[in-house]
Structure 1
Amino acid sequence: MTQSTFLHAAITAIGSYVPHKQLTNEDMAAMVDTNDEWIVQRTGIKARRIAEENEFTSHLCIKAVQDLVDRYEKVLDDVELIIVATHTPDLPFPSVACLIQAHFGIPATGAYDLNATCAGFTYALHTASGMIEAGLHRKVLVVGADSLSKITDYTDRSTCILFGDGAGAVLVERSDELPSYVAHHLGTDGTGGKHVYRTGLASELNGIPLAGEGKLVQNGREVYKFAVSTVPQGISALLEKSGLQKEDIDWFIPHSANLRIIESICEKSGIAFDKALYSLVHYGNTSAASIPLALDLGVKEGKVKSGDTLLLYGFGGGLTHAGLLVKWTL
C-alpha cells in the first residue's frame, strides 16, 4: 500500500443506462420457489433490469456513453483511451472497448477491457487516474457494464434473484484546477476465487472441479464474509492514507451486491447508513455497473453535489476489492 494523491485527474461527466425490460420479485416467484418478502428481507432487491435477447454489454455501454455526451455536451473525438470494466463482454474478442470506439468513430484511441468483476469500475477509475497522473493521457473514457442475465442460472434460487444488467460511464480528464482523486486502496485474495466464478476454458480451479457450464456460480455466505471483513479494513486504510475522518465522507458508494452487506459494512466501519448510495433496489446486482449507476442516481436526485467527498468501494470475484476517495467536482 502506498500513499496516492492524484493532483491532475478529474471526473468531468457521467452517464448511465439500464434496459427497459423489468424483472420484478413477483416475476421471480413465478420462476423459482421464492416470494417478494423473502427476497427483500435478504437482499433489499425489488426488481432488476434485463437486456433483450439481442442486446449485449456493448449496446448498454454505447447508450450510457451517449447519455454522458448528451447531458454534458461532451466531445469524444479527443478521447485517448477507452477502458471498459466488464466480465460479460459480447465476445471474447474484439473487446467491448473496441466496439465503443467503432460506434463513436473515435479516431485515435487505445481501447481495452478490464476484468475485476464487481470491483471493475473502481479498478478502471484507478487505472485511468494513474494514466493521467503519469502524463500518458489527457482524456480517458471509463465504462462499467455487465449483462449478468446472460450468465445467470434461472433454476438456482439462491443466485438468480440477485442479478440484473446495466452500464455507467464517466470521462476522466486532466485538470490542474479541480482534481478528483484523493487516495486508493486495492487488494486481492485469490484463494477465494472458488467462491464466485464462471467456467470457461478450464473445468477446475486449484484442483477443485467447477460446476455451472458457463453460468455464474456463487457461494453467497463466503462472499458475504469476505466483503464485511475486508471492506471496513480497506476503508480504514483509505482514511489513514488521506488524513480524512469518516465524518468527512459525504457519500459512501459501495458495490450494490446486497443491502444486508452494505448495512454490515456501514456498521463495522462506523459510516452512517444514510450516507450510503446504492442501485440494487430497482436494478439488482449489476456487477461492474452498480457503482456508476448508484453514483448517477445520486447526481440525478440532487444528493451528490460539487465539493462532496465520495468513498467508492468495489468488491467481488477474484476475490478482488478496490476503494477510492474522490472529490466530486461537477
Structure 2
Amino acid sequence: MTTRAVVRGVGHYLPERVVENSWFEKRIETSDEWIRTRSGIERRHFAAPGETTSQMAIEASKAALVDSGMGVEQVEAVIVATSTPDLTFPSVATMVQEGLGLRTGFAFDIQAVCAGFVFALAQANALIVSGQVKTVLVIGAETFSRILDMEDRATCVLFGDGAGALLLEAATGTGENTDRGILSADLNSDGSYREMLYVDGGVSTTGTAGKLRMQGNPLFRQAVSKLAATADAALGKAGLTHDDIDWIVPHQANIRIIEGTAKKLGLSMDNVVVTVQDHGNTSAASIPLALSVGKAKGQIRDNDVVVTEAIGGGLAWGAVVIRW
C-alpha cells in the first residue's frame, strides 16, 4: 500500500472588474483583432483598488473547502504560489492562514512565476507522501495588473488577476497508476534564460516592485518544446502514455502555445481545458483557475487522468499528472 495526495476540492475567485480588449484599444496602439490573433485572449479580470493577492487567495480557498465538504480545521498546511505578494514579507500563505481562521499547522509561499502552481503541487505531494501532513491547501494567486507597463503593448494586454485553490488529502492507494491522486511530477529550471521573462525591480536592486519585461518570440519557442517534454517526462514517471490522457490543463498563457503543445503530444484540442480567452495569463493562478472551471463545466470527472504543465520566468517549467 502507498500514500497518495488526492484532490478533495477545487475552487477559484476572479475580481469583479472585467477588462475587454477594447479597453486597451483606447489607450495604446493595438486592436482587439491583434490581441485575439496572437494570444487568443478576449478579456481578463483586474483587481479593484485595494484588492490584494491574499484576499483573492482566501476567497478561492473558501470555494475549494466548500467543494470538498471538509472543514477548515482539517487543513494542516497552506502553500501559495505567487509572484505578486501583498508585501515583501510575511508570506501570502500566512495571511490566508489567518484569513481562514487557522491557528495550527504551517504556511509558506513558492515563487516560480507561471510554473509556481506546478511546483507548489509537487511540494504539497511530497509533504503528504512523506507523512508530514494529511491535508494541504494549494493555491495560485496573482495581481499581475500591478506590475504591468501599460505602455508596453506587447505585454500589458496579456495578463490578468485571479486565484485558484486545490485541497489535497492523504489517501491509501495500491501504488499503481490506477490510484486516484497525484501520480507523478517533473520539475525543471535553467537560469541562463533569465532575460526572456523578468521584472526589472526588486528589494536588493532597485528597491521597487518593477515592471514585467518579456522577449515574446524566443520565449514562445522555448515554451512549446519544454512543455511537451516535461509532460512526457511526468507521464513516463507515472507509467502512462499520451493515450491515457483525458485532459491537459495547461498554463493559460497563449492559445498558440497551448495548441502547439497539444499537437506535440498528439492530442486534440477537445482534450484541452482552455480558459485563456476569458482570464488572460494569470501566472501561477492559471492552472487552478482552469481546473476549477473545467470541473464546474463537467469536463473533468472522477478518475480522469489530468496533465498540468506550465513554464514561467527563470526559466522554470514542469508538469504534474493527477488521476482526479
TM-score of Structure 1 vs Structure 2, range by shorter chain: over 0.9
Instruction: Report the equivalent of 2:313.
Output: 317
The alignment covers a number of residue pairs equal to 317
Aligned 8 A contact 2:36 2:42 in 1 = yes
Aligned 8 A contact 1:68 1:74 in 2 = no
Instruction: Report the equivalent of 2:68.
Output: 72
Instruction: Report the equivalent of 1:192.
Output: 193
Give a deviation string over 1:100-136, Cα, whole Å, max 9, x none. 1111121211111110110111111110011010011
Aligned 8 A contact 1:6 1:183 in 2 = no
* Among candidates 100, 104, 107, match of residue 103 of structure 2: 107
| Structure 1 segment 128-207 matched on structure 2, within 5 A | 128-177=124-173, 179-198=180-199, 199-203=201-205
Instruction: Report the equivalent of 1:248.
Output: 244
Aligned-partner Cα distance in 2 for 1:99–1:203: 26
1:263 corresponds to which letter in structure 2? E
> Match of 1:52, SS?
coil
CA drift of 1:291 comes to 0.4
Aligned 8 A contact 1:6 1:129 in 2 = no
Instruction: Report the equivalent of 1:208.
Output: none
Aligned-partner Cα distance in 2 for 1:235–1:8: 20
234-243 or 190-199: bigger deviation: 234-243
Give a deviation string over 1:227-250, Cα, whole Å, max 9, x none. 112111112222222221201100
231-240 or 316-325: bigger deviation: 231-240
Instruction: Report the equivalent of 2:262.
Output: 266
> Match of 1:221, SS?
helix
> Match of 2:72, SS?
coil
> Match of 1:8, SS?
strand
Aligned-partner Cα distance in 1 for 2:205–2:225: 30
| Structure 1 segment 1-330 matched on structure 2, within 5 A | 7-177=3-173, 179-198=180-199, 199-203=201-205, 214-328=210-324
Aligned 8 A contact 2:65 2:167 in 1 = no
Q: Which runs of 4+ in 1 moved over 6 A?
A: none
CA gap 1:155/1:6 in 2 versus in 1, 3 angstroms: farther
> Match of 2:220, SS?
helix
Q: List gaps (5 residues or longer) in structure 2.
A: 174-178
Instruction: Report the equivalent of 2:176.
Output: none
